[in-house]
Structure 1
């Protein structure tokens, strides 16, 4: 099927406009991948789709329009990985990376001439990044009403058990933490004791336990310090 040049240009412009619509929302919220990035991703995807569909008409036996489109899906992952940042135990940029991936899909649809799906996809993407934000905050507040239970384990010399127990209580004494139990038992290592503390946290913040771990690890009598998350449960006994 022959497609005139203006039709190809229309597809390319449509990809650019829809990519810009997606990027405006990201730019407004000061995300790393904003207007230009999303526009370029959508236009680039459309160009690759047009190339794969109409750039090899002289060799119809080997041309495969779906091959380039499939490579776009995997290739955009490298660009998305560049906007994902890890800050301590928190990860930022996942939503921006997913938006870039979706912008590539919108550009591919526009390049294939599927305008209705491209527009619908754009509306859904922008809606997910805007209208769904209040719902996300609501779920975050609901999460804040739940408590997380941690197990804090310290291995120390038997003679210093009482001192280490005091250090654990001091390290875990915070307004947002609630010490449920503290008990000791003999370790498999001769002359060592394991002290276990069960702690409830009104908010899940591993940085609190990393700070306590750093403080206790400086003690020469302590062999090892570690903590694990046991479970999340509703904080029903809070008044």
Structure 2
């Protein structure tokens, strides 16, 4: 039995170039990962190194194949696919716990490692080094700036406030009071985002109307409450504001 394996001729120069690409990706991806590992992030030394090296392998393979056979996929097509693939990988590092979201910086760092590997695979070694430097700078030099900003109280002018009006009325007059409240707010041009109605004691009801985050004139809300005070069945009413980031 004759086996014709059609093995390509060994190209020492091309193999050396691939070794240089993968070594560059390994070193620079490792540098990015080391910074992440020191800070005990989810994607640390091994993950970032693997992402960078794998990106370099795929792009180097595309360059080699395109150089031998031409046609598609071109190296740029492979880079585009790589961006999409790393996007899915990064999404797995993002976690949501209630209103808190973590892992965004980890996902972005993985993307940066892939960019470093893609540059290395294309033999753009200075560009790979620059990319790694800027990824590292983003994770190190900008950290004190972010920490200092986060420690500062947020100025009220930079925030939006969510306003809520709370009314307590007799259960029998609940529908009339709510209709009157919505009418007065509509006339004041304050759109209502949500209305919640819940028991208040055995015979009364609390109505809460949450307004969309916007600029509100407190005197206008006071006027709305003053008019509602004359509504049959009304017991008490007040409004409050909560700052949102």
Tell me the TM-score normalized by structure 1: 0.67
Q: CA deviation at 1:55?
A: 2.5
Partner-residue secondary structure (3-state), 1:158: strand
In the TM superposition, residue 59 of structure 1 has moved relative to its aligned partner by: 2.7
Q: Distance in 2 between matches of 1:85 and 1:134?
A: 24
Q: How does 1:159-238 map to 2 (within 5 A)?
A: 159=170, 189-192=175-178, 194=181, 219=200, 221-222=205-206, 226=210, 228-230=212-214
1:150 has 2:136 as partner: no
Q: Which structure has the greater CA radius of gyration?
A: 2
What SS does structure 1 have at the residue aligned with 2:69?
coil
Q: Measured at CA, do residues 45 and 80 of structure 1 come closer, stay the same or move farther in structure 2, by a change above 3 Å? A: same
Partner secondary structure for residue 4 of structure 1:
helix
User: What CA RMSD, in Å, does the superposition of the two structures yield over aligned residues?
Assistant: 3.0
**8 Å Cα contact 2:162-2:210 kept in structure 1:** no
- Structure 1 distance, partners of 2:214, 2:72, is 56
The answer on whether the counterparts of 2:56 and 2:119 sit within 8 Å (CA) in structure 1 is yes
TM-score under structure 2 normalisation?
0.66
Alignment of structure 1 residues 1-239 onto 2, 5 Å: 3-142=13-152, 144-147=153-156, 148=159, 149-154=161-166, 158-159=169-170, 189-192=175-178, 194=181, 219=200, 221-222=205-206, 226=210, 228-230=212-214
Residues 112 and 57 of structure 1: is their aligned pair in 2 closer, same or farther, counting only changes over 3 Å?
closer
Q: Is 2:56–2:121's contact at 8 Å kept on the other side of the alignment?
A: yes
Cα deviation for residue 65 of structure 1 reads: 1.4
Structure 1, unaligned runs of 5 or more: 161-185, 197-212, 232-239
Instruction: Give the Å deviation of 1:138.
Output: 2.0
Q: Which runs of 4+ in 1 moved over 4 A?
A: 193-196, 216-220
Q: Aligned equivalents of 2:177 and 2:25: distance in 1?
A: 70
